[in-house]
């Protein structure tokens, strides 16, 4: 099947230009740059099955969200791979990488393959899944196929059942033996536990949510992130520290091209949107780990995105039931279900002058692909998979997600997810 997206403004690799984009089967076959409608016919005789009018619209690569929690298996009363992948494509996310803290936790290769089997049957988006690191599964980590799996997830000091990996000896083993990127949740559990004790003594068993960023404090984040960076520098490990939430942590990272880094950083949408002042308005709806901190922290993260100190932007999408979110700083569940709104939220920050559209495409499309060495995705290039998002300005001068292509097929258009589209398992060039 051949489709032509005509006279659309392509935003890709720091440039924008008007082009006719030809999709053939799963691939971007041609990109004919130029504003003359006759240019395509002059170049080559192409007889498309579908013609899409792109005049006045913008075309970007599909978003690659490297950090989601889809809750399957074991927690499907909250969400599932089927439900959340549908939300993904409706929000312009054509590819996701899902975390291992489900039930049972994804800590063996057999359990990992079971998740791939589920996604193959139901996901309209492309997919990959992390293997969770434990104190006992170093052999599984060593056996992980780097060409077929995105990475290993380490919960470093933030307890998630049996996946708390806190001893220097075990961390060093994982850092030395993993042949895939190591994605890290960095918070120092000892500091958090002491803060919990102090705040309970002062405010009772469940302090108000406004104390959440003081319990899961700047010091807890910095101490753990600094430890991870020191260990990676010593071992040469390939690490990606997730959801940086403080200005202080930014001193641990370098600005520059992601292709030349083995220590990289992610920011999440919530930490770019909100500050601790917003707890009074939104309460536990914005409770997440690490906690949303001060306006100074938020603004520093925004600058770090623009300056390429922060390399990628993701969601940490983590659905809960309304009952789960009841309570305060300790009893309410941590996690925000933001996936279907992540791209539009970032585009709103573009409208406000916080980011450029190039910043959004670099951190949400290009850099996740580069960081994980995703094969033939994340860019609008001839020969690459046709994972694409068409944006259209509405009467309020906001961007709407008009059409989303996954592997050359329209997975979302006119507000409807195409139930017949299935994404593909990611492969990696390593």
Map out the domains of the chain with their CATH numbers: 2-60+377-417 (2.30.40.10), 63-372 (3.20.20.140)
Q: List, in order, residues 6 or more apart from 130 with CB less than 8 Å away.
A: 97, 98, 99, 100, 106, 149, 150, 151, 152, 153, 183
Buried b (16+ CB within 10 A) or exposed e, 98-137: bbbbbeebbbbbebbebbeebbeebbbbbbbbbbbbbeeb
Q: Which residues pair with 268 in a beta bridge?
A: 314
Instruction: Give Cβ neighbours of residue 209 (< 8 Å, ≥ 6 apart).
Output: 279, 283, 284, 287, 328, 329, 332
Nearest to 262, CA basis, from 240, 245, 286: 240
Beta carbons of 269 and 342 less than 8 angstroms apart: yes
H or E stretch including 65?
strand 63-68
Token couple for 304: 């770090």
pLDDT score of 36: 57
Residue 367 burial class via C-beta count within 10 angstroms: exposed 0-12, middle 13-18, buried 19 and up: buried
Total Cβ atoms within 10 A of residue 423: 24
Determine the Cα–Cα distance for residues 92 and 390; give it in Å rounded to an integer: 9
Task: Report yes or no: 46 and 20 within 8 Å, Cβ to Cβ.
Answer: no
**Cα 3 from Cα 29, distance rounded (Å):** 10
6 and 391 Cβ atoms separated by less than 8 Å: no
Supply the DSSP symbol for 382. Answer: T
SS3 state at 418:
coil
Kindly report the number of other CB atoms within 10 A of residue 403's CB atom.
Answer: 20
C-alpha distances in angstroms, 119 versus 74, 76, 112, 172, 338? 15, 14, 11, 32, 20
Say what angle helices 218-235 and 168-177 make with each other, to 10 degrees.
50
Burial class of 430 by CB neighbour count within 10 A (0 to 12, 13 to 18, 19+) = middle
**What pLDDT is attached to residue 352?**
97
Ordered alpha helix ranges (H), 57-203: 81-90, 109-122, 138-143, 168-177, 189-203
What are the two backbone dihedrals, phi and then psi, of residue 277, each rounded to the nearest 5 degrees? -65, -20
Per-residue tens of pLDDT for the chain, all 430 residues: 899 999 999 999 999 999 999 999 999 999 999 865 545 555 556 778 889 999 999 999 999 999 999 999 999 999 999 999 999 999 999 999 999 999 999 999 999 999 999 999 999 999 999 999 998 999 999 999 999 999 999 998 655 556 777 788 889 999 999 999 999 999 999 999 999 999 999 999 999 999 999 999 999 999 999 999 999 999 999 999 999 999 999 999 999 999 999 999 999 999 999 999 999 999 999 999 999 999 999 999 999 999 999 999 999 999 999 999 999 999 999 999 999 999 999 999 999 999 999 999 999 999 999 999 999 999 999 999 999 999 999 988 899 999 999 999 999 999 999 999 999 999 999 9
Which whole-number Å values give the CA distances from 305 to 190, 264, 309, in the listed order? 30, 12, 6
Residue whose C-alpha is closest to residue 242's, from 178, 356, 152: 152
The predicted pLDDT at position 41 comes to: 53
- State residue 157's pLDDT score: 66
Cis status, amide bond into 366, omega within 30 of 0: no
């Amino acid at each position: 099947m051949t489709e032509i997206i005509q006279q659309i403004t392509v935003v890709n690799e720091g440039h924008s230009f008007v082009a006719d984009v030809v999709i053939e089967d799963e691939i971007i076959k041609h990109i004919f740059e130029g504003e003359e409608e006759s240019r395509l016919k002059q170049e080559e005789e192409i007889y498309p099955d579908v013609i899409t009018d792109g005049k006045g619209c913008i075309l970007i690569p599909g978003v690659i969200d490297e950090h989601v929690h889809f809750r399957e298996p074991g927690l499907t009363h909250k969400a599932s791979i089927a439900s959340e992948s549908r939300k993904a494509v409706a929000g312009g996310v054509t590819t996701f990488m899902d975390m291992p803290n489900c039930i049972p936790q994804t800590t063996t290769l057999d359990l990992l393959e079971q998740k791939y089997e589920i996604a193959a049957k139901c996901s309209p988006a492309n997919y990959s899944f992390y293997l969770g690191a434990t104190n006992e599964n170093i052999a599984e980590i060593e056996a992980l196929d780097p060409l077929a799996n995105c990475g290993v997830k380490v919960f470093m000091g933030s307890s998630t059942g049996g996946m708390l990996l806190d001893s220097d000896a075990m961390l060093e083993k994982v850092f030395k033996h993993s042949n895939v990127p190591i994605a890290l949740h960095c918070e120092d559990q000892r500091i958090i536990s002491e803060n919990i004790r102090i705040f309970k003594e002062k405010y009772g068993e469940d302090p108000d949510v406004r104390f959440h960023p003081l319990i899961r404090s700047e010091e807890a984040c910095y101490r753990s992130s600094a430890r991870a960076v020191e260990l990676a520098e010593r071992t040469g490990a390939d690490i990606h520290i997730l959801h940086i939430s403080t200005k202080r942590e930014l001193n641990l990272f370098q600005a520059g091209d992601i292709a030349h880094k083995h220590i990289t950083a992610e920011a999440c949408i919530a930490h770019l949107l909100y500050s601790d002042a917003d707890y009074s308005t939104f309460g536990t709806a914005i409770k997440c780990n690490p906690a949303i901190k001060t306006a100074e922290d938020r603004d520093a993260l925004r600058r770090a995105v623009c300056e390429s100190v922060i390399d990628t932007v993701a969601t940490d999408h983590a659905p809960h039931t309304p009952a789960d979110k009841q309570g305060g700083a300790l009893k309410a569940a941590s996690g925000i279900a933001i996936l279907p709104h992540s791209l539009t939220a970032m585009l709103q920050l573009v409208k406000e002058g916080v980011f450029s559209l190039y910043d959004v495409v670099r951190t949400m499309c290009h850099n996740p692909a580069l960081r994980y060495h995703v094969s033939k995705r994340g860019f609008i290039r001839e020969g690459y998979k046709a994972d694409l998002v068409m944006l259209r300005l509405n009467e309020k001068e906001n961007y709407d997600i008009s059409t989303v292509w996954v592997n050359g097929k329209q997975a979302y258009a006119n507000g409807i997810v195409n139930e017949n589209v299935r994404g593909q398992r990611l492969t990696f060039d390593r």
